[in-house]
Amino acid sequence: MLADVSARTPEEACGLVAGRARRAERVYRVSNALHSPVRFRLDPAEQIHIFLEIEKLGLELVAIYHSHPNGPAIPSPTDVAESAYPETINLIWSAADGKWHCRGFIIQNGEVAEVPIEIVHSQQL
């Protein structure tokens, strides 16, 4: 994820994280269909393809990530309004002081709650 969000700046990067029991096993980069520095929308065709692969592997969607290259490290009002997977962690990457930071949030019924996350740097994901 870190390499992806770094490489796609200034556009918001986005993708899906699959695993089991909220532990990431695979990270999928997805094109931002909006190609915007302030909004993202997962490319629908890529999203469907990845969902089919996740199901085939017996995994589940554990997180959706996107970046806020110039924005706050919290969900935007648009992020909250467009959140469609209430059981999934929303990982938001933001840049501050020349470094990327990641925070996790659950968004349910318009309410936002931060959740602890542990980032493990691995070439396998």
Residue positions annotated with a catalytic role:
12
Are 62 and 125 a contacting pair, CB within 8 Å? no
Q: How far apart are CA 80 and CA 82, in angstroms?
A: 6
Closest CA to 40 of 82, 4, 2: 82
Residue of 64, 68, 55, 74 whose CA lies nearest to 8 = 68
